[in-house]
Amino acid sequence: MVSRLRMRPRQRLVDLGCGTGGAGLWLARALGAELDGIDIPPVAVSLADRRAHQFLPAGRATFHVGTLGETGLDSASADGVICADAFSFAPDGRAALEELRRIPRPGARALITSPDRHPASSKPWDRVGLELEAEGERPHVPGMWRRLYRLWADHEDELRNVLGEAQAERMIGEARRRAPEMDYRRFSVATVRRPA
């Protein structure tokens, strides 16, 4: 992931669908980047904000409530964007794609991972003026999700205490719905670039 983004230290990374900060915080630390995380649930955004000091110096990470289609970020303000397994949840895929094109600076890259049933090349990147640079599958991901879903189920009470009833219920519901699908799902990764 780090090499696909081609970012330099102190540049700005945006994590769309950041959840509690996981992928964005790890990548920002590895890149030496500043991080803006965006997600819908306020509880997840709050947890990400509280975890940031474990990964980055003070002031190098901010988290906001927003959607994939309406981030609230300035145009051409990001040096790199990641969207880890959140794109398929966007209620308006076209708006999310347009936002994905709007927020990176010209020449900046976005890395999108997706629990797809279709190859990344079938995505309409070109309809919004993004160039597909690379695509591939992530064969290790189903096993990772199975382990994570099992952990959620095993620690359901702790999730409810830390995240609150509503967020924990969403996660446990997701685990119940999606765990059986893991043997049949394809997971893809695509790197797209806003033209310079």
Q: What pLDDT was estimated at residue 181?
A: 83
Residue spans per domain, the chain: 2-139+184-193
The pLDDT profile of the chain, 196 residues, written as one tens digit per residue, is 678 899 999 999 999 999 999 899 999 999 999 999 999 999 999 999 999 999 999 999 999 999 999 999 999 999 999 999 898 888 898 899 999 999 999 999 999 988 765 444 456 788 888 999 988 877 777 888 889 899 999 999 998 998 889 888 988 998 998 888 887 777 888 899 999 9
CA distances from 18 to 68, 74, 117, 118, 127 (A): 10, 18, 22, 23, 25
Q: Cα 137 to chain center, whole Å?
A: 16
Q: What pLDDT was estimated at residue 16?
A: 97
Q: What pLDDT was estimated at residue 182?
A: 82
Classify the C-alpha dihedral 99-77-87-187 as positive or negative: positive
Cβ atoms 7, 130 nearer than 8 A: no
Q: What pLDDT was estimated at residue 119?
A: 47
| CATH 3.50.50.60 is right for the domain spanning 2-139+184-193 | no
DSSP 88-102: GG-S-HHHHHHHHHH
Cβ atoms 75, 98 nearer than 8 A: no
DSSP 14-51: EEET-TTSHHHHHHHHHHT-EEEEEES-HHHHHHHHHH
